[in-house]
């Protein structure tokens, strides 16, 4: 699977660990930055992640910041992206099954690496259920409908 990952400075270590682990799992991973712990603005990296999800360069995205909140808000500014803030595998699974999420966000200051890996695994392995959920997902990108 083609996966893009981005963070702010607070989540550099978790981003690097997840990136390397995903590559070991056989995924193609695009690390969209940043590369250092120098202070950056999370919206810049959230917007970059949303762009590659929206244009199809990546199939799924992982957004990380200190809490996961700010970067999830920035990613969700793009109507083609459905990013869910998750903290455990059940929410990561349900966001795929019911909401067809194509991106998840997590907080590096709140979620340890083992839990983050469990969330990513659930996110990547769960299929969208479709059916009655499709109508609702369609409204997320097209609220007028």
pLDDT in tens, 76-110: 999 999 999 999 999 999 999 999 999 999 999 99
User: SS3 of 6, please?
Assistant: strand
Q: How many domains, the chain?
A: 1
145 is in an annotated binding site: no
- The residue annotated as part of the active site, out of 65, 83, 95, 119, is 65
98 is catalytic: yes
Residue 9 is labelled as binding a ligand: yes
How far apart are the C-alpha atoms of 80 and 32, rounded to whole Å? 18
CATH number for the domain that contains residue 10: 3.40.1400.10
Residue 50's pLDDT band (cuts 50, 70, 90): very high
User: pLDDT tens for residues 123-133?
Assistant: 999 999 888 89
Distance (Å, whole) CA 110 – CA 86: 11
Residue 99 is assigned to a ligand binding site:
yes
What six digits make up the tokens of 131?
A: 């059916």
- The range of the structural domain enclosing residue 40 comes to 2-141
Let me know if 103 is a catalytic residue.
no
Measured between alpha carbons, how far apart are the two ends of the chain, in Å?
31
CA dist., res. 2 & res. 55, Å (int): 13
What pTM was estimated for this model as a whole?
Answer: 0.95
19 is in an annotated binding site: no
Q: Is the pLDDT of residue 145 over 80?
A: no
Task: Please state the separation of Cα 101 from the chain's center in Å.
Answer: 8
């Amino acid at each position: 699977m083609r996966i893009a990952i981005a963070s702010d400075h607070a989540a550099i270590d978790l981003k690097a660990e997840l990136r390397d682990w995903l590559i070991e799992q056989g995924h193609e991973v695009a690390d969209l930055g940043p590369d250092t712990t120098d202070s950056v603005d999370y919206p810049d990296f959230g917007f970059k992640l949303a762009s590659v999800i929206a244009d199809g360069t990546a199939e799924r995205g992982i957004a990380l910041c200190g809490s996961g909140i700010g970067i999830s808000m920035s990613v969700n500014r793009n109507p083609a992206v459905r990013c869910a803030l998750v903290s455990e595998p059940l929410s990561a699974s349900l966001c795929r099954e019911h909401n067809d999420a194509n991106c998840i966000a997590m907080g590096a200051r709140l979620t340890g690496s083992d839990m983050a890996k469990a969330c990513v695994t659930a996110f990547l392995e769960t299929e969208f259920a479709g059916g009655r959920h499709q109508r609702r997902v369609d409204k997320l990108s097209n609220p007028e409908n």
